[in-house]
C-alpha cells in the first residue's frame, strides 16, 4: 500500500471511529437480574420456591378493608388514596396491570421475567433493554407491544402522580429495538438500582385503549389490562369483584405458577375496623390480618373459632421491623429544632403503654432496620461506614455512632421523673422552660400541637402520650377523623403530628426519596410525612443506590439508619415479631414461607373442584 493510500485508510478509520463508538453496547439476554449478586433461580426454573405449583385453582375469596373508593385509576393524584384495592396492589396482588418483570419474595431484590421474557444490561448499568414475551396479550386480545411500553412511561411522565411521573428523569433515551425490545439508555443521574425500578415499579398500559387527554381524571370504567383478572362488578365505596381470566396469557409462566388461584376475588369496604372484624366473624370476609396483640389474644372466643371454621396463624418473616411512630411534621416551625423533637420523643412512656394497654406484648422499636443485618443498633460505625458518612457523621449523636444508643427504659409508672427530666433538659436547649405550668419559649408561646389519629386504637395510644406530655407542660390535643379526611389531610400534609408506619425491606433504595428525600418534601401525595429536606439524607440515599458491593450497601444503610435515628423525626413506638392472620379454614397456603413473609396471592380456596 502506497503512502497516499495508507493516509486515506487512516483518515477513513478516524472518521469512522465516532460511528464505531456510537454503536449501542450489547449484552447477553438473561432471565433475571439482582440488585447485588446473581439470581438464586436458574434460567430453567419451574416456579418460585414458596408457591404450591400443583394448586387446584378455583373457588373465591373475600378480602375486607377499611375505607372507601371512587376510582379505578391508581396512577393519578386525584383520589390516589381512594382507588379500588386490587388494581395495583402489593398486598392482594396486581390483578389488572403488570410490570415488565416481577420480584421474588424469597430474595432481597431479584427480578424475573413477566411481560419481558428476558433483559439485557451492561456491568455499569448504563442501559437496560427489556425483550417482551411474544405471548403477552391484553385482555381484549391485542398483543403487548414496545409501543405500549414507551407510551406508558411517557403517559406517566405527563399525567401520572409521583413517583410514576419521575421515572423517566434518569433516562437519556427510550427506543424500540427490533420487534419486541425496548431499550432505556440512562443518564448521569441514574443509579444502579434504577434499571430494577424500571422493571418492577412502573405499570405497562395499553396505548390503544387510553385517551391521554382524560387520563388524569378519576374513572369507574373497568380498564383493559394484561393481568390475570378483570373487573366483574363495582359498587362504589362498598365492593369491587374481580373475575379470573381463563384466557390470561401468563398463567403458565414460571413466575406466575402457583399465583392467582381464585376464580373470584371480592374486596369489601367498611367504615371502621370493628365492623370489618364483625363481618369476618360472621363469614362475610375470609381473612383478617391482626396487628393488635391484645385483640389477637382476647377477641377470638366465638363459635367459628371453637368449631374450627376459623384458624389463627402466626408467621415469622425474615424482615427488618420497619418503624411505626408519632411523626413530627417539620413543615411546622414548632418542630424545626431537633432538641424539641428529641425531648418530646423521650416523653412517650413505652413501658407504661405496653404494660397497661397491650399486656406486655410489644417490643420497642429503636431502628428502622431492627432485627436485620442492616440495623445500626449495637454496631459501632467501622472505617467503611465512616468513609461513607464523611462530614455527615457530625450530625449523628455519639451514642448512635458508637453503637451504644438505646431508648431509655422508664419505671413504667407513666411519670418517670428521671426520663422526664431528660426531656425537659432537651427542651431547655431549644429555648423552652416551664412557666406557670406551661412549657413556653422566651416569647411566652406555649409548646402546643395537635395529633391527628384515624382509629380508636390510635386514639387510645395518643391519650397515653398526651397524659405524659401534660406532666411537663406540653399541650397536645388529639383529633380523630374519618378515613376520607385522614387521607386528604395526610396527602397534603395538613397536620402537626400523625401516626404512620414505615415498612422496611432488605433492599432499601429509591423509595427512600419519596419517604425522606428533599425533592418529596413539597410534593403532594408523597410519603414524606415528616417533611424532611436534609442534604445528608439525600447523599446517603444516592450512595445506597449506587454502591456496587454488598458490604458497601449494608454499611450505607446502617449509616442512613444512624442519621434518621439522630434526626428524631418520629417518636418510635413498637413492633411484634410475627405476622398474625386469622382465616376461614377453607383458605389454604403454601408450606414454605418466603423471606418477606406470607403472600396472599399464593393462597387458595380448598373448596375448589
What local confidence, expressed as pLDDT, does residue 12 receive?
40
Buried b (16+ CB within 10 A) or exposed e, 493-504: bebbbbbbebeb
The residue ranking higher by pLDDT, 373 or 539, is 539
Q: Which domains does the chain have, with CATH numbers?
A: 52-96+227-316+578-609 (3.40.190.10), 323-575 (3.10.105.10)
Q: What does the DSSP 8-state code read for residue 113?
A: E
pLDDT at 169 over 60: yes
CA distance 219 to 481: 26
Cell (9 digits) for 477: 390535643
Q: Average pLDDT over the chain, rounded to whole?
A: 93
Which cell numbers in the block locate residue 310? 376459623
Burial string for 370-407 (b: 16+ CB within 10 Å, else e) reads: bbbebbbbebebeebbeebbeebbebbbeebbebebeb
Q: What is the Cα–Cα distance from 586 to 602, expressed in whole angstroms? A: 14
127 φ/ψ angles, rounded to the nearest 5 degrees: -155, 160
Burial of 306 by CB count in 10 Å (0-12 exposed, 13-18 middle, 19+ buried)?
exposed
The strand order across the sheet containing 127-132 reads 116-121, 127-132, 181-186, 171-177
**Which strand (E) or helix (H) includes residue 196?**
helix 194-200
∠ CA(71), CA(75), CA(76), 5° rounding? 70
Return d(Cα 537, Cα 516) in angstroms, integer.
7
8 Å CB contact between 319 and 504: yes
Q: What is the pLDDT of residue 292?
A: 86
Q: Report yes or no: 366 and 445 within 8 Å, Cβ to Cβ.
A: no
Question: What whole-number distance in Å separates Cα of residue 358 and Cα of residue 354?
Answer: 5
Percentage with pLDDT > 90 across the chain: 87
Place 393 in a pLDDT band, splitting at 50, 70 and 90.
very high
6 pLDDT higher than 90: no
pLDDT of 247-298, one tens digit each?
999 999 999 999 999 999 999 999 999 999 999 999 999 999 998 888 999 9
Q: Read out DSSP for 328-359?
A: E-TTSGGG-SHHHHHHHHHT--HHHHHHHHST
Q: Looking at residue 318, what is its pLDDT?
A: 87
Mean predicted confidence (pLDDT) in 380-399: 97
Amino acid at each position: 500500500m502506497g503512502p497516499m493510500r495508507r493516509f486515506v485508510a487512516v483518515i477513513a478509520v478516524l472518521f469512522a471511529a465516532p460511528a464505531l463508538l456510537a454503536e449501542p453496547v450489547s449484552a447477553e439476554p438473561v432471565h433475571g437480574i439482582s440488585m447485588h449478586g446473581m439470581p438464586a433461580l436458574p434460567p430453567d426454573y419451574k416456579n418460585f420456591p414458596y408457591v404450591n405449583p400443583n394448586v387446584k385453582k378455583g373457588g373465591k375469596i373475600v378480602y375486607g378493608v377499611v375505607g372507601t373508593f371512587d376510582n379505578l385509576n391508581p396512577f393519578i393524584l386525584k383520589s390516589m388514596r381512594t382507588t379500588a384495592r386490587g388494581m395495583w396492589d402489593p398486598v392482594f396482588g396486581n390483578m389488572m396491570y403488570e410490570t415488565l418483570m416481577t420480584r421474588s419474595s424469597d430474595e432481597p431484590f431479584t427480578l424475573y421475567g413477566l411481560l419481558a421474557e428476558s433483559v439485557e444490561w451492561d456491568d455499569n448499568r448504563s442501559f437496560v433493554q427489556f425483550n417482551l414475551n411474544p405471548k403477552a396479550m391484553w385482555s381484549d386480545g391485542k398483543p403487548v407491544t414496545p409501543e405500549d411500553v414507551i407510551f406508558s412511561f411517557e403517559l406517566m411522565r405527563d399525567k401520572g402522580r409521583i413517583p410514576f411521573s419521575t421515572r423517566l428523569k434518569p433516562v437519556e433515551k427510550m427506543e424500540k429495538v427490533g420487534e419486541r425490545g425496548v431499550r432505556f439508555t440512562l443518564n448521569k443521574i441514574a443509579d444502579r438500582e434504577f434499571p430494577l425500578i424500571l422493571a418492577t415499579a412502573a405499570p405497562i398500559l395499553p396505548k390503544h385503549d387510553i385517551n391521554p387527554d382524560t387520563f388524569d381524571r378519576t374513572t369507574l370504567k373497568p380498564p383493559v389490562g394484561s393481568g390475570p383478572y378483570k373487573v366483574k362488578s363495582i359498587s362504589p365505596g362498598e365492593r369491587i369483584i374481580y373475575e379470573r381470566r381463563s384466557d390470561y396469557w401468563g398463567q403458565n409462566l414460571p413466575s406466575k405458577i402457583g399465583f392467582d388461584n381464585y376464580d373470584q376475588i371480592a374486596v369489601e369496604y367498611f367504615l371502621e375496623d370493628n365492623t370489618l372484624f364483625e363481618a369476618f366473624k360472621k363469614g362475610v370476609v375470609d381473612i383478617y390480618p391482626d396487628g393488635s396483640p391484645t385483640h389477637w389474644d382476647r377477641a377470638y372466643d366465638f363459635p367459628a373459632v371453637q368449631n374450627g371454621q376459623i384458624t389463627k396463624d402466626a408467621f415469622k418473616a425474615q424482615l427488618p421491623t420497619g418503624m411505626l411512630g408519632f411523626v413530627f411534621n417539620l413543615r411546622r416551625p414548632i418542630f424545626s429544632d431537633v432538641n424539641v423533637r428529641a425531648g418530646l420523643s423521650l416523653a412517650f412512656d413505652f413501658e407504661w403503654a405496653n404494660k397497661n394497654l397491650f399486656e406486655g406484648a410489644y417490643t420497642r422499636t429503636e431502628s428502622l432496620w431492627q432485627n436485620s443485618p442492616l440495623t445500626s443498633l449495637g454496631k459501632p460505625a467501622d472505617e467503611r461506614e465512616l468513609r461513607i458518612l464523611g462530614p455527615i457523621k457530625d450530625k449523628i449523636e455519639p451514642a448512635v455512632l458508637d453503637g451504644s444508643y438505646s431508648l431509655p427504659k422508664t419505671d413504667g409508672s407513666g411519670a418517670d421523673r428521671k426520663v422526664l427530666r431528660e426531656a425537659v433538659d432537651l427542651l431547655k436547649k431549644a429555648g423552652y422552660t416551664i412557666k406557670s405550668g406551661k412549657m413556653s419559649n422566651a416569647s411566652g408561646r406555649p409548646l402546643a400541637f395537635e395529633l391527628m389519629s384515624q382509629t380508636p386504637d390510635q386514639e387510645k395510644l395518643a391519650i397515653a402520650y398526651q397524659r405524659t406530655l401534660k406532666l411537663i407542660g406540653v399541650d397536645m390535643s388529639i383529633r380523630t377523623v374519618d378515613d376520607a379526611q385522614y387521607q386528604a389531610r395526610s396527602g397534603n400534609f395538613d397536620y402537626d403530628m400523625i401516626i404512620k408506619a414505615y415498612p422496611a425491606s432488605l433492599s432499601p433504595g429509591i423509595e427512600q426519596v419519596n419517604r425522606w428525600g428533599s425533592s418529596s418534601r413539597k410534593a403532594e401525595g408523597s410519603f414524606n410525612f415528616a417533611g424532611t429536606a436534609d442534604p445528608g439524607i439525600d447523599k446517603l440515599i444516592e450512595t445506597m443506590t449506587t454502591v456496587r458491593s454488598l458490604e458497601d450497601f449494608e454499611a450505607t444503610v446502617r449509616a442512613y439508619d444512624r442519621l434518621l435515628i439522630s434526626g428524631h423525626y418520629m417518636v418510635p413506638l413498637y413492633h411484634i415479631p410475627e405476622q398474625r392472620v386469622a382465616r376461614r379454614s377453607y383458605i389454604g397456603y403454601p408450606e414454605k414461607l418466603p423471606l418477606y413473609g406470607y403472600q396472599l396471592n399464593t393462597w387458595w380456596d380448598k373448596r375448589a373442584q
